[in-house]
Amino acid sequence: MTYRSWFYASILIVFAALVSTGAQESRTPSPFRFDNPLSFLGITSFQELQQAVTEIDSGSEVKRIMLIDRLKEKLADESPISLSGYSVGTERYDLTKVSGRARWLIEHILQREIGNSTLSVDDRVKLWQVNASQRRLAFERPVPELKQKYAGTIRSGIVGDMTVPSLEAMDRLLEDWFPYSRRIADLEEITGVRFAREDEDAVLRIENGFFGAEYRFRLNNGVIESVIKRGIE
């Protein structure tokens, strides 16, 4: 090999390594986790925020609607949050405030799902829920089959070693059985658990005394309108 050939070959190798490294960096997961929706508000880099949005876009309908349900609670929170690589005014909402970042993500998700609309956030979410519920009825398993599938897999209260398996099973169930616009009685039949009632909410808590989660289902005449999952520590 001549010196010139060796030189160009070295350049190509270095270039390929840089491209590979860049690809790996671009695939680095963001700090966001669907099982902790408020982790989106804790991201401090605009680049990581954009990566989180990409990850959210690939999430299931249930996960994205549950994320909106959780973020709606933060729309009046004007607390400041840091964000490097971002200049205020470059986005419609101020991403350095909790309310602005929550509104920004909610609008992004709804824009992709519903398109342009003058409806309120609540009305657009309701429209999405109803459409998804009707669409999924065509292929979802009936309640008796789901009851058989999940029999004994979901425990409530302080359940020790069954905490993680119960949480995992509950999360799978919410993917298998779209909860919105469905009866809480059907969910209780599937799980074999009678949920606690707190005002207009049905509440399921699964924990081991150190960690766990609370699933809160807002009801309207026994029909599920929203689902919020919170960690228990």
**Is 218 within the bounds of a domain?**
yes
The dihedral through the CA atoms of 53, 55, 61, 67 has a sign that is negative
**Three-state SS at 196:** strand
pLDDT of residue 196 exceeding 70, the answer is yes
What is the average per-residue pLDDT within 103-123? Answer: 94
**Pair (39, 131) in one structural domain:** yes
Structure tokens at 58: 């690939």
**Pair (120, 157) in one structural domain:** no
Range of the domain at 47: 31-135
82 class by beta-carbon count within 10 Å (0-12 exposed, 13-18 middle, 19+ buried)? exposed
The full DSSP string for 90-130 is SSSS-TTBHHHHHHHHHHHHHHHHH-S--S-HHHHHHHHHH
The gap from C-alpha 99 to its chain's centroid, in whole angstroms, comes to: 18
Backbone angles phi, psi at 89, to 5 degrees: 105, -15
Write out pLDDT tens, residues 21-60.
Answer: 454 445 688 999 998 999 999 999 999 999 999 999 999 9
**Is 4 within the bounds of a domain?**
no
R_g (Cα) of the chain, nearest Å: 22
Boundary of a domain, candidates 93, 119, 135: 135
pLDDT of residue 164 exceeding 70, the answer is yes
Q: How many domains does the chain have?
A: 2
What is the average per-residue pLDDT within 111-126? Answer: 92
**Pair (42, 105) in one structural domain:** yes
**Pair (55, 145) in one structural domain:** no
What pLDDT is stored for residue 219 in this prediction? 97
**Is 12 within the bounds of a domain?**
no
**Pair (128, 150) in one structural domain:** no
Write out pLDDT tens, residues 212-230.
Answer: 999 999 999 999 999 999 9
pLDDT of residue 124 exceeding 80, the answer is yes
**Pair (50, 120) in one structural domain:** yes
What pLDDT is stored for residue 50 in this prediction? 95
Strand 201-207 and strand 223-232: the pairing is: unpaired
What is the average per-residue pLDDT within 77-83? Answer: 96
Q: Which amino acid is at 65?
A: I
Looking at every residue in the chain, the average pLDDT score rounds to 89
pLDDT of residue 173 exceeding 80, the answer is yes
**Pair (52, 67) in one structural domain:** yes
**Is 157 within the bounds of a domain?**
yes
**Is 170 within the bounds of a domain?**
yes
CA–CA dist 44, 97 (Å, integer): 12
